[in-house]
A and B are shown apart, each in its own frame.
Chain A
């Protein structure tokens, strides 16, 4: 190891609040950064300040949608089906002018990104699912976001996909990662050591490293590019 890892500098990035019309709804979003666009969907905590998004915005153009039904977008009548809601978000991306983007989900927004990859694969460069709640391990009770129709169609996801789970996750056992690998053709599964369900809160730099590398390199993120020369 050459140098000590840097602590997250959470103050560095300012996200701008914007709005876009899609699917008959007004969708709020936060945007920061330049370069390759990456759409990030929040989890059940709603659209909050995010160490991961701060880090990502130094490298990518980050668009963080507020999912209809959450926060300030709570009042509107949103589609009942996950698939339709996913469609709305795809339209929102198009309305902003995005053509191809990386797509990141957190916990229960996983079904939304998976549906987007199934229905609009030409728009999605790579998928990253952080602590996903799309598949239910055996013996567990399905959550309200569980979508059996999605489960049947996972084989159609052609996009390179990375699933990340913390080894101390007590909401979903980290072994669930294998289920994604078994169902999604081009899927990778990473364990983040010593992190619980909220990986971002506990090990944001480790999470950022993996997510960044996968968004930039997709399948070849497994090839080390580290310069380990100690002295020339």
Chain B
């Protein structure tokens, strides 16, 4: 079992910021912002030294995070973290020019000495408001974007692209990724077409935050599609992303977990969650329920968490878990302590899972 440290790029302020979206820029304190980035880099360096296999980055806008383009955070961290893989999970495909995404990821592969891992994220409905994208188009847009990115990495000669959402008459990305033909990729999403795309293109599948039974269903579907496409995925092809609340006692961990609900995250973290919730309980899908949805999937003492990780493997076949330690309200030092506890008492025991 591989472990990834999800560096969410949170904004470290003495007091938690609660706000409707968007948070006015005037509330941004540059000193805290500077500190936030130092904290982010420190956490990545700690993760590297503790033995996490990857450090990962994700795109969020206009909220209490400091990485609207995670590629910049990844580039900076790649210069400081020399061993762990640099995982871009990832660019929000519906907000971005796919050629530019292909170029940035290729640059990151060269900047990280060939350690890049890629996760294709579709993005969530509220994020679409950032650059004013029509949510109804997002699925088709993301699918076309992924296909164009893969082509842009692999065509040896300049070519044109006549798409539905994108038209480019000259594509000839340079540099190319250094990993050939391209880095390991995962398609993130809780939907059938994500699984289908991944299967068809021999890519991995990534699922975020959903309860394990639903994860299991998705992976089963993905495996079927892979077989139909003529190949068998291994554990390394299956990624799960979830939040961790680790403590010496169960009570302490549960306390942390109650804070890991969507509404406390200022509403933005929804990779596949809304679809997942609807599938699980369509009759009760409403805003109140979603706001109370907890992203904490690994909660408890180290022993309990090791068991939960085993469950994640048994139910969904995950070979990589991307762990987020971002409990709202925790200070940087508190996060580091939890990481150290995890590194000492969980990491060594999950290698052979």
Residues of A within 8 A of B161 (CB): 190-191, 193
Residues of B within 8 A of A210 (CB): 160, 162
In the complex, what distance in Å separates the CA atom of A189 from the CA atom of B166? 16
Q: Are A181 and B169 in contact, with the CB atoms below 8 A?
A: no
- A122 interface residue per 8 A CB criterion: no
Which residues of A are interface residues toward B (Cβ below 8 A)?
164, 167, 175, 177-178, 181-182, 188-194, 203, 206-207, 209-210, 221-224
The minimal Cβ–Cβ distance linking B79 to chain A, given in whole angstroms, is 35
Instruction: Give me 12 A-to-B residue pairs in the complex whose CB atoms sit less than 8 angstroms apart, sorted by A's number.
Output: A178-B157, A181-B157, A190-B169, A191-B160, A191-B162, A192-B162, A193-B144, A193-B148, A207-B162, A209-B167, A210-B162, A222-B160
Q: How many contacts A-B (CB < 8 Å)?
A: 56
Q: Which of B109-147 contact A (CB under 8 A)?
A: 144, 147
Residues of A within 8 A of B167 (CB): 209
For B151, B162, B166, B170, the residue with the greatest tally of chain A CB atoms inside 10 Å of its CB is B162
The minimal Cβ–Cβ distance linking B333 to chain A, given in whole angstroms, is 48
Residues of B within 8 A of A209 (CB): 162, 167
Residues of B within 8 A of A189 (CB): 157-160
- B156 interface residue per 8 A CB criterion: yes
- B164 interface residue per 8 A CB criterion: yes
- B163 interface residue per 8 A CB criterion: yes
Instruction: Find B169's partner among A175, A182, A222 (CB 8 Å cutoff).
Output: A222
Ordered nearest first, which 9 A-B pairs have the shortest CB separation? A190-B160, A193-B163, A222-B169, A181-B157, A192-B162, A206-B162, A189-B159, A178-B157, A222-B170
Q: Are B159 and A190 in contact, with the CB atoms below 8 A?
A: yes
Q: Are B147 and A193 in contact, with the CB atoms below 8 A?
A: yes
- B155 interface residue per 8 A CB criterion: yes
Count of residues in B whose CB is under 8 Å from the partner chain: 18
Q: Are A194 and B144 in contact, with the CB atoms below 8 A?
A: yes
The minimal Cβ–Cβ distance linking A166 to chain B, given in whole angstroms, is 9
In the complex, what distance in Å separates the CA atom of A221 from the CA atom of B168? 11
In the complex, what distance in Å separates the CA atom of A182 from the CA atom of B157? 8
Residues of A within 8 A of B169 (CB): 190, 221-224
| Chain B, Cβ-Cβ closest to A199 | B162
The minimal Cβ–Cβ distance linking A2 to chain B, given in whole angstroms, is 13
In the complex, what distance in Å separates the CA atom of A192 from the CA atom of B161? 6
In the complex, what distance in Å separates the CA atom of A167 from the CA atom of B161? 10
The minimal Cβ–Cβ distance linking A91 to chain B, given in whole angstroms, is 33
In the complex, what distance in Å separates the CA atom of A191 from the CA atom of B157? 12
